Structure 1
Amino acid sequence: MSTTLHHAGARPAGPGADRPPKPRQRTAGPARARLAALAFTAPAWLYVAVFYLYPLAGSVRMGFQNYTVSSFYTGVAPYVGWANYRAVLHDSHFGRTVTNTLLFTAGSLLFQFCVGLALAVFFNRAFPLGGALRSLLLVPWLLPLVVSGTAWRWILDTDSGVLNHALLGAHLIGHPVPWLASTHDSLIAVTLVNIWVGIPFNMVILYGGLQSIPGELYEAAALDGANAWRRFRHITLPLLRPVTAVVLTLGLIYTVKVFDVIMILTQGGPAGSSQTLTTFAYNLSFQQLEFGRGAAVGNLLVLVAVVFAAVYLRATREQRRAGR
């Protein structure tokens, strides 16, 4: 007679008795998760620090120094405090430059938004070749600004420009208009070109906002007898308000710092009639070699951009909360 001894705690014989116990899965702790997140974001932070923060810090420092051509070789630039900013504010061209910047920005934003919204509403309904036509309207936004500016410089030429020939042929003007050579028309010309460049951006963003509005709201309003204008006023505009805030804020930031179009078309002339703060900073730094004053103007532009960037972030935050 044989006996089988079972030790205490021994596993009974069965189908899975010989399998080793499964090891416990280790979960990453909070410290390891933070370290992994830091490792993934480190390249982006390094890029921002090298290409944005370092030049920005150099520009801010230069705005408080008497930085000249010799300073690039000697490295000596005396600290002058707020003298560069006072010199810029008391410059005889500063007041006109600020006025040009305000007119250029306000005119660009107004017409870019209105035309972009009209096109977005137009393309919001399906029709044959609507997608192809909408894609063609993106060309001004996709083209490099150097190409766009060069093409418009030829279009707006006084003697051989296509625009003057078309207006003369339609008997809308009696003589060629010096769009780029007149102190009265140069700012209008650069503003029109900038409007042409910015319309596709407004159209795309506003079109995306219109697509998010439920169609049932328009159907219910139509059943209640609301015409197209009342539906646009009481449904489209209120529901499009968060997108409108984002579009206008981004458009203002982009427009304030426009440089390429103006430099290619008029270089801020003639006689400073189309000069904005960006071209003013360029002239101070690279034509008059007043690098400290040019940096001061650039710092003012950065301050304006930061203020409106904060407005943009707040608008997007409110939009995100409203979408929850």
Structure 2
Amino acid sequence: MLTSILIPIVNTVRYSFLDLDFISKGAGNFSGFRNYGKALSDPVLWKSLFITIRWTVYSIVFQFGLGFALALLLKSKQVLINKTVLRSLFLVPWMLPGALAAIMWKWLYHGSVGLINQMLLRMHIISAPIPWLASTQFVLISVVLVNVWRGAPFFMVMLFGGLQTIPNELYEAAMIDGAGSFTSFRKITVPLLKPLILTLSLYGFIGAFNFIDIILVLTKGGPAHHTLTLPLYVWQLAFVDMKISYATAVCVLMCLFLVVLLGIMMVFLKKRGEDDE
């Protein structure tokens, strides 16, 4: 097990110090830190990093928010629909493969025959079709919405399970004391779910940061690199441009970026937890 993890890591780091390039027939000679120097001065890499951070933050915030709202809805006694059926329907997007979900949404986003534009036109919200995946103004939020639609059910399932562990007696006691729904949510639900919330936040951050399927199918990083995240940039360098050593150098830097961002996030979440206490 340990070997299967260490060997790819060691090889990735080793390749980053070579000049393997299948386009220019690079022989794999030692090149030192040249690939890293090139990467750090690469404007596309820095743009990709900024886009990756935006993609990750938007995805996590909306996935978590929507998932929490759906979990609370399923927990509510006011829901008259069969909750098992409702929960199954909510889980459908999560069960779809990322590539399949992206293909479906690509048709929905289509400029001329897409259902979204047709509905907006019929409702007179827009006067002309919007090129959702070809416009630099709308493309990032468009792909984020697809990721939110697909990923929110996971947070719903986890948070719904957490809500089930909170005794109803706590809410009943709070109600007797005159606490409203929001106060009970803030004073009971959130504190008791804090470990789960922190775990889901870290897990979701790592998953969104490294996610590639939806963006690859929908936009391939375009238009004008406006959806080119770091994992997708590494994929393009390695499997399209065949610049293996440069791709691995960018990959190593991406891992370092992720470790730093996770460290900052963990310190922030820990500080917030201490302040709440």
- Fold equivalence (TM over 0.5): yes
Q: Is contact 1:71–1:77 with CA below 8 Å preserved after alignment?
A: no
Percent identity reads 39
* Equivalent residue number for residue 167 of structure 1: 120
Structure 1 contact 137–200 (Cα < 8 Å) conserved: yes
Task: Say whether residues 1:49 and 2:3 are aligned partners.
Answer: yes
Report the secondary structure of 1:195's partner residue: helix
Shift of 1:305: 5.0
AA aligned opposite 1:192: L
Q: Which residue number in structure 1 is paired with residue 31 of structure 2?
A: 80
- Check conservation: 1:257, 1:301, Cα contact below 8 A: no
The aligned amino acid for 1:61 is: R
Q: CA deviation at 1:92?
A: 2.1
Measure how far apart 1:128 and its partner are. 4.0
Structure 1 residue 70 displacement after superposition: 7.7
Structure 1 CA distance, aligned partners of 2:34 and 2:183? 56
Q: How does 1:238-257 map to 2 (within 5 A)?
A: 238-257=191-210
Q: What's 2:63 paired with?
A: 112
Task: Map 1:7-18 to 2 at 5 A.
Answer: none
TM-superposition CA deviations, 1:9-47 (whole Å, max 9, x none): xxxxxxxxxxxxxxxxxxxxxxxxxxxxxxxxxxxx2xx
Equivalent residue, structure 1, for 2:153? 200
Q: Which has the larger radius of gyration?
A: 1
Q: 1:65 is matched with which residue: 9, 14, 18? A: 18
Query: In the aligned structure 2, how far is the partner of 1:133 from the partner of 1:263?
Result: 31
Q: Distance in 2 between matches of 1:128 and 1:153?
A: 31
Quick one: which of 32, 40, 43 aligns to 1:89? 40
Name the residue aligned to 1:144: 97
- One-letter amino acid of the counterpart of residue 108, structure 1: S
Aligned residue number for residue 180 of structure 1:
133
1:304: Cα distance to partner? 4.7
8 Å Cα contact 1:66/1:79 also seen in 2: yes
Instruction: Give CA deviations for 1:82-112 in whole Å, capped at 9, x if unaligned.
Output: 2212211111212221111111011001101
Amino acid in the other structure paired with 2:159 = L
Match of 1:10? none
RMSD: 2.2
Question: Deviations 1:150-179 (Å, cap 9, x if unpaired)?
Answer: 101111111111111111111211211101
State whether residues 23 and 241 of structure 2, in contact with CA within 8 Å, keep that contact through their aligned partners in structure 1.
no
- Residue 51 of structure 2 is matched in structure 1 by 100
Shift of 1:49: 2.7
After the TM superposition, which of the residue ranges 121-130 and 278-287 deviates more from structure 2?
Answer: 121-130
Whole-angstrom CA distance in 1 between matches of 2:43 and 2:257: 22
Q: Distance in 2 between matches of 1:169 and 1:71?
A: 53
Deviation at 1:205, TM superposition (A): 0.8
| Structure 2 residue 235 is matched with structure 1 residue 264 | no
Distance 1:67 1:113, change over 3 A: same
The residue that corresponds to 2:272 in the other structure is: none
Q: Which has the higher contact order (CA 8 A, sep 6+)?
A: 2
Q: Secondary structure at the match of 2:131?
A: coil
Q: What do residues 276-324 of structure 1 show as CA deviations (whole Å, max 9, x unaligned)?
A: 0011111222222221111122223334555649x88xx9xxxxxxxxx
**Counterpart contact for 1:66–1:80, Cα < 8 Å:** yes
For 1:230, the equivalent position in structure 2 comes to 183
| Maintained 8 Å contact 1:184/1:273 | no
2:251 to 298, 301, 304: 298
Residue 105 of structure 1 aligns with an amino acid whose one-letter code is T
CA distance in 2, matches of 1:77, 1:302: 23
Report how far residue 71 of structure 1 moved: 9.8
Query: 2 CA distance for matches of 1:304 and 1:253?
Result: 11
Partner of 2:75: 124
The letter of the residue matching 2:88 is: S
Superposition TM-score, scaled by structure 1 size: 0.76
- The one-letter code sitting in structure 2 at the alignment partner of 1:115 is L
